[in-house]
Amino acid sequence: MLLGILAIAYFNVLTLSPHQAVYAGESLAIPPPNQFASLLPQVSMQSNTRHSAVAASATQPDETETRESYELSLKAGGLLPLKTVIVEEIEPRQLVAGGHSIGILLQTEGVTIVGHSAVIGQNGAARYPAKEAGLQVGDFVTDINGRAINSNDQIRDLIDTFGINGQDCLINYIRDNQKQQTRVEPLYCQDTQSWRIGLYVRDNTAGVGTLTYYDPQSGDYGALGHMVSNLAHGVKEEEKGLIVRAAIQGVKSGSKGSPGEKLGVFIGSDWKGSIELNGEFGVFGQLEQSISNEYFPYPLPVALPEQVETGPAHIFTVIEGEDIRAFEIEIIKTMPHYKSSGKGMIIKITDPALLAATGGIIQGMSGSPIVQNGRLAGAVTHVFINDPQRGYACFATWMLEEAEAS
């Protein structure tokens, strides 16, 4: 057991990025498992060199600022060198915590095939023209006879028009990130009194989520904490679109094996924002109007991943109308080294009111900001399907880094 504990402690050190940031006046934290700290050889941090780096101001190109940085030698027991880390002192980012429900409208081209349906001919026989032509569930249809597809209604109307005119449908689609093509003959369906090829499709343009933060200085926002994942099958990660105000009209509670969801309606007035990036850690863009959170009349500092602790915290989200409410959670585990997985924290809903209303984490709650110790710590991202009281969250700094790198 002791060897395992030692391995965890040294893993924290050896996997530490060689470039770290700390807020001015604070020190770099490399937390071992606290309950076993007395058993571990001490990892000392020796400051070898102090640097003053001069950088141009992002807001005032003619001004410069001096940033202090330190070169730290990390040693086991004060003797065995483990790693050298450059630590830069930075000023905390100040952001308005979100919690607002938003409607997400992405301007995608294409629809996803979600099923096949029978086309009933004059003799009552059932045919499946699209299936017979090789189209499969999960294929992403981009255009028909050179006409770009944006919605279920559009594909229905185009197929009916081509059928009336006696034209086959040359369908371009994407499967496994590969562009493919097939030709389908529309058939007249006696049941629907229209020309069809026998497909059920879903457009990928809308959904309900939660705003995570708003920057009052730049107008930038971040939401969701994860990519809009149903934009698959070759659709670009960066898609232009909009977010708009949304109100929650109802909640479908989650249970083991069955995730719940918020049932919302888009309002679209008062404020909206652009979607400039649909990235790994959320959707990002600019709001046209400033917004506020009544719980926080002032912007909050953003917590660095190392500042987020296991223990109590709060999330802010909407479960009825547009009223943001605070709910208690527990941060069970932090994983600052797991950025590549997008899963920086494991959280548990502990608030009785939220558990009674939703059963735990539900769809539409993604992006709900997590606040701990007066800092914006992160955002809710995913629910555990077999335990809706628990789920994953990402760190707020990960969202900021992705937005600023785009």
- The residue annotated as part of the active site, out of 168, 292, 337, 351, is 351
Is the distance from CB of 237 to CB of 406 less than 8 angstroms? no
- Rounded to a whole number of angstroms, the CA Rg of the chain reads 26
Q: Annotated catalytic, 351?
A: yes
Is the distance from CB of 221 to CB of 285 less than 8 angstroms? yes
Q: Which two tokens stand for residue 93?
A: 């980012």
Q: Annotated catalytic, 366?
A: yes
- The residue annotated as part of the active site, out of 226, 233, 314, 382, is 226
**Separation of alpha carbons 134 and 183, rounded Å:** 9
- The residue annotated as part of the active site, out of 215, 366, 368, 382, is 366
Q: Indicate which residues carry an active-site annotation.
A: 226, 351, 366
